[in-house]
Amino acid sequence: MSAPAVGAVPGATDRPETQARWAGTGALIRFGLRRDRIRLLVWIAAVVFLTVVSLLSFVANYPTETDRMEITAGLDSPAMTALTGPDHYLTHYTYASMLGHQLTYLIAIALAIMTVLLVVRHTRMEEETGRAELIRAGVVGRHAHLTAALALAVIASVATTGVLTAALVAVGVASVGWGEALLFSAAVASVGLVFAGVAAVTAQVTEHSRAASGMGLALVGLAYALRAIGDAGDTPALSWLSPIGWAQRTYVGVDDRWWPVLLAVGLFLLLALLAGWLSTRRDVAAGLRRPRAGRAAATSALVHPLGFALRLHRGLLIGFGIGAALGGAAYGSVFGELEEMLANLELADELLARFESTAVDAFATVILLILAVVAAAYVVLAALRPRTEEVAGRAEPVLVTGLSRTRWLASHLVVALAGGAVVMVAAGAAFGAAAAASTGDPELFGRITGASLVYLPALWLVAGLAVTLYGWWPRAAGLVWLVPAYGFVVGYLGQLLSMPDWLANLSPFGHVPQLPAYELRWTPLLILTLIAAVLIGLGLVGFRRRDVIGN
């Protein structure tokens, strides 16, 4: 009897070739669920919470059919159609159609971001760190990693559909029954599936996980832009180029169409097949796009810690800056129709009475808070970049060159602090410019741009919290995401639901003077800055005292 070949896996030669390509998929799925159980639970819980709270705010603010009909007059404009969705929803404005009209795009984008990050994390990031090659050395097929990642996206989407449907029905709102709740949940989840397929394709193109997720998220933004332009203008065909447009054309509570969901599922399957085929055209850890050849020698900026950190953060900063500016411009474009939109709305009167200011100032204050949360998301990502470098094993080779831990971490932190300011000011300037152009009031540009600056101390405090957690408890650093999430809930939804002020005071954004609706107060800004400085100092001390690997 002949001995088996060296390195042969017992039984592997008896396995059909097609079956061997997917060997180990089930184990990778179970392992992925084990790794991401907390992350997925937080995403799903946040989506369900935001949807249910928004639905309850609809009921509280528009209790009668007359109230709902009044708001349609303000929503029936190109600017508001671009922000929300097609005006066909307005023909029968029940709570179910309000859900589909005003929340489909928002929840769909949230789930798209979730699936893009999920698929890239379990495909390209595994290859980038070298873990995929080690795993494939065992009894694991060529398509196992990609299939497992897409299966995780499907499981997350199905779970979101089920939990969200049950939660919406449990609220017991009129017109939101099982059919409407299930259609809405399936529609937004189908968008997440499409972008899971998109991420699977982008993961084949580039060698870097950040580039793969960046391309995927850029396509999410493009999908929203196509939907907005198509619905607001005379080119509805553009909306059909966007999966978000498909989800909104289910017309929940109006026509209750299911076929757009099937269209999205079909596109997901096609993208999954395309990604699988592309994966056979490249080597492990390589991308279809060859990396650009670098310089023969590093520039003078790259040999300094700050210049090197800026180079690492450049793509993220540019992406967030452009995205925040586009978002600010979109909100500012509706200012010309603001008075008409808010006319005869009891909710608008209540908000104006609470702010004790004009409609323009009150609206600008709320939008600036939303833009500040976006800037805070950038700050968190940038402040936690050292954690990524450390876990990937790239920090230790840099630190053994003689660069001190403090200077290395401080260089990333400076980019996070300055970059947060750049993102916030870019958003505020674009917001102010669009508002000034739509109203014909040039003073709005300076007022709104200046008002955006007061959020900088709050952003720096968020960075301080991130670096403190990273310095002392690196595994818990991800908890800092709760700060911008909580700030959005109590700052934005709190205005609609009249939440008590003490809840807002638990957020750093709750202590920021709400310009331009109120007067500037320097004391809270100085206190926020001082707290941020203390937290940053604590984080630097903690990082200097612990092991580099952070375990």
Q: What mean pLDDT do residues 125-134 have?
A: 84
DSSP 8-class letter at 172: T
pLDDT at 323 > cutoff 60: yes
pLDDT at 1: 40
331 and 413 in a single domain? The answer is yes
179 and 76 in a single domain? The answer is yes
Q: What mean pLDDT do residues 250-255 have?
A: 94
- Any domain includes 84: yes
pLDDT at 546 > cutoff 50: yes
How many other β-carbons are positioned within 10 Å of the β-carbon of residue 486? 18
HSE, CB side, 13 Å, CA atoms: give it for residue 104.
36
280 and 345 in a single domain? The answer is no
- Any domain includes 6: no
The two tokens of residue 516 are 């331009």
- Any domain includes 371: yes
244 and 306 in a single domain? The answer is no
412 and 531 in a single domain? The answer is yes
**Among 184-188, 324-328, 498-502, 505-509, where is mean pLDDT lowest?**
498-502
Number of domains making up the chain: 2
Q: Which of 236, 268, 289 is the last residue of a domain?
A: 289
In angstroms, the Cα distances linking 5 to 13, 140, 200, 239 are 11, 18, 35, 58
Q: What mean pLDDT do residues 331-360 have?
A: 64
Percent of the chain with pLDDT over 70: 90
Rg (alpha carbons) of the chain, rounded to whole number? 25
Tens-digit pLDDT profile for residues 177-188:
999 999 999 999
> What average pLDDT is seen over the chain?
86
Residues 6+ apart with CB under 8 A from 525: 454, 457, 512, 513
The two tokens of residue 14 are 């008896």
Q: Where are the alpha helices (DSSP H) in 280-358?
A: 305-332, 338-342, 346-355
pLDDT at 79 > cutoff 80: no
pLDDT at 543 > cutoff 50: yes
User: Which is more confident, 211 or 463?
Assistant: 463
- Any domain includes 3: no
pLDDT at 538: 96
280 and 243 in a single domain? The answer is yes
347 and 266 in a single domain? The answer is no
- Any domain includes 14: no
237 and 333 in a single domain? The answer is no
**Among 85-89, 201-205, 522-526, where is mean pLDDT lowest?**
85-89
- Is the dihedral angle over the CA atoms 174, 175, 176, 179 positive or is it negative? positive
pLDDT at 225: 84
Q: In one letter, which amino acid is 131?
A: R
344 and 398 in a single domain? The answer is yes
pLDDT at 115: 96
pLDDT at 352: 56
142 and 224 in a single domain? The answer is yes
- Any domain includes 496: yes
pLDDT band at 108 (very low <50, low <70, confident <90, very high): very high
pTM: 0.82
Identify whether the C-beta of residue 93 lies closer than 8 Å to the C-beta of residue 71: yes
Identify whether the C-beta of residue 211 lies closer than 8 Å to the C-beta of residue 127: no
- Any domain includes 136: yes
pLDDT at 299: 79
Q: Which domain holds residue 310?
A: 298-551
257 and 350 in a single domain? The answer is no
Q: What mean pLDDT do residues 225-251 have?
A: 88
Tens-digit pLDDT profile for residues 3-56:
444 444 444 444 556 667 888 899 999 999 999 988 899 889 989 988 998 898
Q: What mean pLDDT do residues 420-441 have?
A: 92
Please count the helices (runs of H) and the strands (runs of E) in the chain: 25, 0
pLDDT at 143: 87
pLDDT at 542 > cutoff 60: yes
The two tokens of residue 84 are 């929300």
pLDDT at 391: 82
272 and 314 in a single domain? The answer is no
Phi, psi of 473 (to 5 degrees): -135, 75
Q: Which of 248, 263, 289 is the last residue of a domain?
A: 289
CA dist., res. 453 & res. 424, Å (int): 7
pLDDT at 501 > cutoff 60: yes
pLDDT at 244: 95
- Any domain includes 455: yes
pLDDT at 223 > cutoff 60: yes
pLDDT at 19: 64
Residues 6+ apart with CB under 8 A from 256: 179, 180, 183, 250
Q: Which of 289, 307, 335 is the last residue of a domain?
A: 289
Tens-digit pLDDT profile for residues 150-207:
999 999 999 999 999 999 999 999 899 999 999 999 999 999 999 999 999 999 998 8
pLDDT at 343: 57
Report the alpha-carbon angle 360-366-368, nearest 5: 95
User: What is the per-residue DSSP string for 208-269?
Assistant: -HHHHHHHHHHHHHHHHHHHHHHHHSS-GGGGGG-HHHHHHTT-TTTT---HHHHHHHHHHH
**Among 94-103, 121-130, 279-288, 355-364, where is mean pLDDT lowest?**
355-364
pLDDT at 249: 95
The two tokens of residue 378 are 């950038």
